Structure 1
Amino acid sequence: MKIAITLLLYTLAFVWGCTRLRGEGSKLHRLWFGCILVWCAYENICGITETPHFNMATLYLLSTRRQVHYQVVRRLTSELCKKRNRYLPCKLRL
């Protein structure tokens, strides 16, 4: 029921927004407006159903090299262990 209400509200927002977008270049603006609303609906429905989903950070993580991220994680983990004076019982497998 929550998903149906969410989709209905996003549809109403799209229809209302399209009536407000007028003039030159309004088709392109409607397209961008629709894309933004579809993305928001996707994120919202994934949040309701608690399913894993792609977000903007996923694109960044996929575009950069994995090695850089592993080095950062290792450095932060080692600094955290030094501050707490503790030893990690298992190696960090990356």
Structure 2
Amino acid sequence: MTNHNVMQEQLHAETPIPREHEQNNRSVRDMVGQRGIQPEQLPAEEDIQKLERRVKTEEKKLLKQTGKLPSSKQSGSKIIQSDDCCQ
């Protein structure tokens, strides 16, 4: 919203841009308040770095569980694992 208004109204000085940003923040906060939501009362979300680590760990677990192909004895053909190729 701020970026749009800065370009639309051609704001370039150091004072008008922060003022526009603050006004947009106030407008959003007022709208949220009109809907009965108080940001201070909302539960905190999980830290993004912790979330990224957890997702990465879960992806590795899923890859280990689902990424293994049947052995060549079962399928009748040689299976090339991604680690074996292109070395």
What is the TM-score with the length of structure 2 in the denominator? 0.35
Question: 1 or 2, which has the higher helix percentage?
Answer: 1
What is the TM-score with the length of structure 1 in the denominator? 0.33
Larger Rg: 2
